[in-house]
A = this chain, B = another copy of it.
Amino acid sequence: MTTRRFPVAVLSTLAFLVALVATAPADEGMYLYSAPPLKALQERYGFEPDGKWFEHLQKSSVRFPGGSGSFVSPAGLVMTNQHVGRGALSKLATKERNLVRDGFLAKTPADELKCHDMELVVLQGIEDVTDKVQAAVKPDMSPAEAEKARRAAMNTLEKKASDDKAGIRADVVTLYQGGQYHLYTYKKYTDVRLVFAPQAEAAHFGGDPDNFEFPRYCLDVCFFRVYEDGKPAQVVYHLSWSQAGAKEDDLVFVSGHPGRTSRLNTVGHLELFRDANYPLFLNLMRRREVTFKSWADRDEENARRAQADLLRVQNSRKLLVGMVAGLQDPAVLEKKRADEKALRAAVEKDADLKKQYGDAWEQVEESVKAQRKLYHPYQLFEGAGRGLGAPWAFNSELFSIARTLVRHADEKEKPNAERLREYRESNLPSLKQLLFSEAPIYEDFETLKLADSLSLLAEVAGGDAEPVKAVLAGKSPQARAAELVKGTKLRDVAARKALFDGGKQAVEESDDPMIRLARLIDGPSRDMRKQYEEKVEEPQTQAYAKISKAIFALKGKDQYPDATFTLRLAFGTVKGYEENGRKVGPFTTLGGAFAHAAEHGHREPFVLPKRFLDRKEKIDARTPYNFICTADIIGGNSGSPVVNRKGEVVGLIFDGNIQSLPADFAYTDTQARAVAVDARGIVEALRKVYDAPELAKELTGKK
């Protein structure tokens, strides 16, 4: 980057800009391991870790599907949250073995339960491929051509990086919304076994209500072990366990995979989130919460079958309520508006910046207009449907499987460079692991979910709209869902394999009703996706790339990018806060959990497992149980280890307090806090409550 010289007027604007934009509270940031916050750590904490320190933490950090974790023993032991492991627990459960509710402990390695379809990855290398990716896009390309060219470049880079390398996953990561592209290579573990999970009552003690009343008392922890060649994997990088634990005002680090933030977004874009996208998604979550809850309440087996989905939905609902509330607070957007105004003014004043990046905001605005129209139909038919997720109108695992088979058959006939991202060569092993999972799919719960989502489709599109009629085939959503779920053979993994291997012909000849439905809507769905990519995503990629570059130019390159569910490092201080004049201390204790249960009359969700109550006398009541810190986290960070300056585990992130919910678009540290299980609480519970001294020893090295 060339040095710039600014006239005085720009400098004073810049000072204003810095005051507004750059007064990020010092603990803000989800930093790339390739650009760690050396300066901030040095200036603020006098801490100067070397490259090895970072490498060790990076390679001890594990990515779970939807969450984070870490190696905590040389024998491949991985720690995460119970709620991150919940999907896997649920898939391993049976009517007789309710692992989510009742927990699990493998007494010996032979008892460890192999997960159906879990893939864990560990970041090994980072390569900046920005130039390669951006070079593929020529200035005169249409959005459609640009998207295609960029996709080809990314698919190809990934294939090259992972080809012939078993156990390696390669992803080109889009950073700064398009400002940079990095090629991440991961070591992959696919034989993952369950070692320990506590009862749901312990993991989520205090449940939803306690979110409004920190302190909390949750043992939201879960241990898995990765295997290679049928034996526990020997891992070089793993975290040691802190003996002393953390104390108030300690500097701590969080290494994990924050899922998504929108901090770079323009105010107009955030307003769209506030007024349309988030409320729509929130309505969907509330709808599912009510639908699942009333079904789950009918009997215990229903409750077991729905529990993972229900808890996930409740968690999303809680997050979205907080996010909408944050955006509806005029003070929050006013701050953003002032920042944006200052940034744009600074760009306008510099002829060069103005020429290169000055039109970015209008470009976003245009794309937001398109997004306002397309977001809902896109989500209904496509949206989360990438990979094996389900679009809003077809909330069914069997449908997702059907769509994956239908699309795979089409995509595999194309060259790798031209394929939809999720069908690129380098992603197929992961896709197959999910597609051929033997995890149970329950006919009744599937029917409930599909019926409710088909009903949503009919509501949104209108019961007489042609696509709705075609999808429902003259039946009510309920009857159609029942017919599809009952009629499909896709619950049988062999049937999936036959269609996967049989390719286009097999899929076209299949009379499986779910395959037929997926084929019926595949054309319109792909069109919808194409439109969304061309009118929303591609212009936003290009525009935000410009905005990022403008910021780099004005403020230097040490800005962290928005979260992308890739490995990041955050740091912060163990610290309480004040709320309505009341001091909330940084730590809770195990003894406090008992008191809290008693205060609430041991009513749901303040019921401690019987095992806790039985062993109350044995437990050291003073043991720290949960703590809070100012580190900058968000969903996806769940399961991240919290480490001290020595890189030792002092805790395990599992949540944020309600004040942290608007972290999507703004970090604050007045009240917002990350919430962690204390390492000392984990060990005390393993020893005294769960009779798991071996596991405690594996963590701490001590009996």
- Residues on B with C-beta less than 8 A from A474 are 330
**Given A279-B459, A294-B208, A328-B463: A299 and B600 interface contact (C-beta under 8 Å):** yes
- Residues on B with C-beta less than 8 A from A122 are none
A475-483, A627-635, A636-644: which lies at the interface: A475-483
**Given A209-B294, A271-B464, A463-B274: A328 and B477 interface contact (C-beta under 8 Å):** yes
A246 at the interface (CB under 8 A from B): no
Contact present for A459 and B601 (CB under 8 Å)? no
Question: When chains A and B are docked, how far (Å) is the Cα of A333 from the Cα of B469?
Answer: 13
How many chain copies does the complex carry?
2
Contact present for A298 and B209 (CB under 8 Å)? yes
- Residues on B with C-beta less than 8 A from A475 are 329-330
The interface bits of chain A over 189-223 (1 if a CB of B lies within 8 angstroms of the residue's CB, else 0) are 00000000000000000011100110000000000
A42 at the interface (CB under 8 A from B): no
**Given A287-B286, A327-B463, A474-B330: A297 and B605 interface contact (C-beta under 8 Å):** yes
Contact present for B330 and A213 (CB under 8 Å)? no
Most buried by B among A207, A294, A325, A601: A294
- Residues on B with C-beta less than 8 A from A137 are none
Question: When chains A and B are docked, how far (Å) is the Cα of A580 from the Cα of B333?
Answer: 55
- Residues on B with C-beta less than 8 A from A317 are 290
From B279, B300, B462, B600, contact of A601 by CB (8 A): B300
Min C-beta distance of A139 to chain B, whole Å: 35
Question: When chains A and B are docked, how far (Å) is the Cα of A130 from the Cα of B377?
Answer: 49
The interface bits of chain A over 279-293 (1 if a CB of B lies within 8 angstroms of the residue's CB, else 0) are 100010011011000
A527 at the interface (CB under 8 A from B): no
Question: When chains A and B are docked, how far (Å) is the Cα of A479 from the Cα of B331?
Answer: 11
Question: When chains A and B are docked, how far (Å) is the Cα of A356 from the Cα of B600?
Answer: 68
A18 at the interface (CB under 8 A from B): no
Contact present for B455 and A324 (CB under 8 Å)? yes
Contact present for A476 and B328 (CB under 8 Å)? yes
Min C-beta distance of A342 to chain B, whole Å: 20
A335 at the interface (CB under 8 A from B): no
A145 at the interface (CB under 8 A from B): no
Who on chain B is nearest to A600 by CB? B299
Min C-beta distance of A419 to chain B, whole Å: 37
Who on chain B is nearest to A478 by CB? B325
From B212, B300, B330, contact of A476 by CB (8 A): B330
The interface bits of chain A over 305-325 (1 if a CB of B lies within 8 angstroms of the residue's CB, else 0) are 000000000000110000011
Contact present for B325 and A271 (CB under 8 Å)? no
A603 at the interface (CB under 8 A from B): yes
A620 at the interface (CB under 8 A from B): no
Min C-beta distance of A319 to chain B, whole Å: 13
**Given A283-B287, A463-B271: A329 and B297 interface contact (C-beta under 8 Å):** no
Min C-beta distance of A660 to chain B, whole Å: 16
A249 at the interface (CB under 8 A from B): no
Contact present for A298 and B328 (CB under 8 Å)? no
Min C-beta distance of A670 to chain B, whole Å: 15
Question: When chains A and B are docked, how far (Å) is the Cα of A455 from the Cα of B331?
Answer: 15
**Given A287-B286, A476-B328: A209 and B275 interface contact (C-beta under 8 Å):** no
Question: When chains A and B are docked, how far (Å) is the Cα of A333 from the Cα of B464?
Answer: 11
**Given A209-B294, A459-B279: A603 and B476 interface contact (C-beta under 8 Å):** no
A120 at the interface (CB under 8 A from B): no
A472 at the interface (CB under 8 A from B): yes
A409 at the interface (CB under 8 A from B): no
Contact present for A207 and B476 (CB under 8 Å)? no
From B207, B279, B325, B464, contact of A477 by CB (8 A): B325
Contact present for A298 and B212 (CB under 8 Å)? yes
- Residues on B with C-beta less than 8 A from A271 are 462-464
Contact present for A209 and B299 (CB under 8 Å)? yes
- Residues on B with C-beta less than 8 A from A458 are 274-275, 328
- Residues on B with C-beta less than 8 A from A279 are 459
Contact present for B212 and A328 (CB under 8 Å)? no
- Residues on B with C-beta less than 8 A from A299 are 209, 600
Contact present for A325 and B600 (CB under 8 Å)? no
From B208, B212, B300, B324, contact of A459 by CB (8 A): B324
A-B contact pairs, 23 of them (CB 8 A): A207-B297, A208-B294, A208-B297, A209-B297, A209-B298, A213-B298, A275-B458, A286-B286, A286-B289, A290-B290, A297-B604, A297-B605, A300-B600, A300-B601, A324-B459, A325-B477, A328-B455, A328-B463, A328-B476, A328-B477, A329-B476, A329-B478, A330-B472
Q: Kindly list the 6 A-B residue pairs having the minimum CB-CB distance in the complex, ordered from nearest.
A: A209-B298, A329-B476, A279-B459, A275-B462, A286-B290, A286-B286
